[in-house]
Chain A
């Protein structure tokens, strides 16, 4: 809860919880029962919110984890005589294991495919529970003991309600802390743009898996509570409709918004009760109300707000040891060989098209090297092969003397290659500052648990993290925009933010894919200055660019590609007078005898 702006919300939330805690003292048992249902749904929806709201994965089978928790508690209690509290860890762990079992093979799927797979998983769990004898078949399990608290059975609705509320508070603290953690930020980056997240070093598969498993754990907890509340369970409580209800809570309330999810739980679990006077029309009116609410508020009733992390002040950031850009870069480049990267005979075939056909080149430490060539020459494909986005069909990439092939993009980033994209790919709904923080995330290693517990060394690392991020923003000249939504920045600033995000990962090699595209001459001038300053820090720069003024002005060497091959390499001057290069750009003499001008007579910018 940093920053003054968040205090009113936190205060209101705590006040609401206190009021909720007093419901049993003032209200009729019926109201308490409805409130208990709302709280149970609230817990489940907070769990699903991690998957759907934070990480942006569609899950239509969340009730499966709820079922696994409920059946684990019920079976252990009735078969082994354990009490509620003793079964609780098993419920949570089994639900988590189920999350791993279903998540591991399927989380690589695109989101819509994931939807049907999770739906199928939910149905499989329910059908198994219906068909096995041990789970009591369609009749389910009876005679489950209530939770016991220091000798008192929690059977009365009021007592169960209080227990559920305590669970809700625990889950709330957990999900709020998770949302503020580095993992929470990684989830959001995943939701915003999965490929970009991977390309700036977020291990997307693992991060997805964590969302799925933590969501499952909370589902298991909700299941145990459910079993202890009713004393009996059967498969009809764990249907697809149940999963859908929980999903509706999350989306209607506001994906990723904790107050939103709680409001959603109140609406979805409470509204049908309030509509009882409609008798037969109740469900129909509820459905229509749901459609109308969604049409009126597509972002949800209480949409998630931009998460603001205050960037440290200039002085504070400068005073933090090891947070200075030059020092950060020097850390990574010390003692490495002079040849940074070598592409050996790299090829990439798409269907019948040889986009890259046996390319060889070396990148020397500390240089600015440009790759130029007509559109379709294979430049971006080379970038994609270097950064692990697509594997080369053949050939090898040698990085600091060791092969760098078949690594996932986030691992390539960890080795020290960072990139920007031809079309800007920022995390639009994160702040400028947070975009940079995501870029440097892979450098930090404090465990999630110690981060959430705010242990001293974890706080130190967070402090360094923030100071370094602040300094990178300053390096590209965006320090004063730190708190803005990244998607709201003007175009040129977005380009610079993308560069800052890539630099924040302490790369030895920075790959820039057409950074000057769409920039005006003034912006291009300042970009040239920025590229030189990056090189001066010690970071090698590999640049794809069509703007010849910029290429010729800034590059130490130039590689020219055409039709998937390197046709020339050398200094800017050598390349400009190379006949093969002129032919690639302007056509050969046979095709165009009279009009081909002497390239040497042209100004440096003419090739653009």
Chain B
């Protein structure tokens, strides 16, 4: 029982990262039909910006809570800005070009971000400043740390905020309109380019938040950390039904739990095989993912 709870909490924690990142994949896909292969690296950039700010803040001897808040916010804003810049220069000119062309620039951006960070920070692992104690509590025999609880709570708050934003603001409505029909949205006077940029901004800020939390949780970061996390988060978005926001959240948590339990009960060497087999099995049964709508083609 204690092992089960331990794995459950660990799975929910990593699942929260995946969910936050999966939201970026799914929002961008929903609006411009692009699999943004650079998104995992945006997450990585967020972790590095967070590390830089935290290191600077740590030297100023502020209370840890304030330092952390500053780091998360700065990382979110700067990474969001990078997301917008990437969209403006690498994607926007190709929005009406063949879909594969923009996919290749996304892969190029991914490579450029990884190697850019490599050039600036070097190839070694960086250690996150030790701000939060490892203290925690015991639940049903399992050790649960404050960091885990903080991550899960903050992730759910961010997801709730996004959900409210998308469903109860004008910009959110415009985003959903774009997802249905970009041209019709444009004809209704929506500034399509701006909404697309806002989407990239939001997706990137969520990924940055996940990046800082990942740094705090695993304490070490590296320039290639975005690949495997991005892959899992993308898998999560597809599992939930790409383009569907609650689907991405659910998919992220499912992948996190699958990872934790397969590592705990089988072997972490087979985690990815299990994750992908579950994904393929799901898609064979339900071709548009768990929450995806069946697309009826009009003749």
**A434 / chain B contacts, CB cutoff of 8 Å:** none
| Chain B positions 70-116 with a Cβ under 8 Å from a chain A Cβ | 90, 93-94, 97-98, 100-101, 103-105, 107-112, 114-116
Query: Are A284 and B116 in contact (CB-based, < 8 A)?
Result: yes
Q: Main SS of chain A's interface residues?
A: helix
In the complex formed, the residue of B with least CB distance to A252 is: B104
Query: Are B235 and A109 in contact (CB-based, < 8 A)?
Result: no
Chain A CB within 8 A of B142 CB = no
With A251-B101, A295-B94 as contacts: A106 and B299 at CB distance below 8 Å: no
Query: Are A117 and B279 in contact (CB-based, < 8 A)?
Result: yes
Query: Are A287 and B104 in contact (CB-based, < 8 A)?
Result: no
Pick the most buried of B90, B115, B288: most chain A CB atoms within 10 A of its CB: B115
Query: Are B295 and A244 in contact (CB-based, < 8 A)?
Result: no
A220→B33 CA distance, assembly (Å): 32
A406→B152 CA distance, assembly (Å): 48
Query: Are B234 and A116 in contact (CB-based, < 8 A)?
Result: yes
Query: Are A280 and B272 in contact (CB-based, < 8 A)?
Result: no
Count how many pairs of residues, one from A and one from B, have CB atoms less than 8 Å apart in the complex.
133
**A549 / chain B contacts, CB cutoff of 8 Å:** none
Query: Are A291 and B112 in contact (CB-based, < 8 A)?
Result: yes
Q: Main SS of chain B's interface residues?
A: helix
Interface size on A, residues (CB 8 A): 53
**B272 / chain A contacts, CB cutoff of 8 Å:** 123-124, 127
A389→B296 CA distance, assembly (Å): 10
Query: Are A113 and B283 in contact (CB-based, < 8 A)?
Result: yes
A117→B288 CA distance, assembly (Å): 12
In the complex formed, the residue of B with least CB distance to A248 is: B104
Q: Which of these, A112, A117, A291, contacts B280 with CB under 8 Å?
A: A117
In the complex formed, the residue of B with least CB distance to A245 is: B107
Chain A positions 109 through 153: 1 when the CB is less than 8 Å from some CB of chain B, otherwise 0: 110110111011101100110110000000000000000000000
**B289 / chain A contacts, CB cutoff of 8 Å:** 113
**A171 / chain B contacts, CB cutoff of 8 Å:** none
Chain B CB within 8 A of A513 CB = yes
In the complex formed, the residue of B with least CB distance to A299 is: B98
* Shortest Cβ gap from B102 to chain A (Å): 8
Q: Which of these, B101, B105, B118, B280, contacts A105 with CB under 8 Å?
A: B280
Query: Are A58 and B100 in contact (CB-based, < 8 A)?
Result: yes
Chain A positions 374 through 390: 1 when the CB is less than 8 Å from some CB of chain B, otherwise 0: 00000010011000010
**A117 / chain B contacts, CB cutoff of 8 Å:** 279-280, 283
In the complex formed, the residue of A with least CB distance to B111 is: A287
**B242 / chain A contacts, CB cutoff of 8 Å:** 112-113
Q: List 17 A-B contacts (CB under 8 A).
A: A109-B283, A110-B287, A115-B35, A116-B234, A120-B275, A120-B277, A120-B280, A240-B227, A252-B104, A255-B98, A290-B105, A291-B112, A295-B105, A298-B94, A383-B299, A423-B298, A513-B299
Interface residues of B (CB under 8 A from A): 29, 33, 35, 90, 93-94, 97-98, 100-101, 103-105, 107-112, 114-116, 118-119, 227, 231, 234-235, 238, 242, 269-270, 272-273, 275-277, 279-280, 283-284, 287-289, 295-299
Query: Which 4 pairs between the two chains have the least Cβ-Cβ distance?
Result: A120-B276, A287-B111, A298-B97, A287-B112
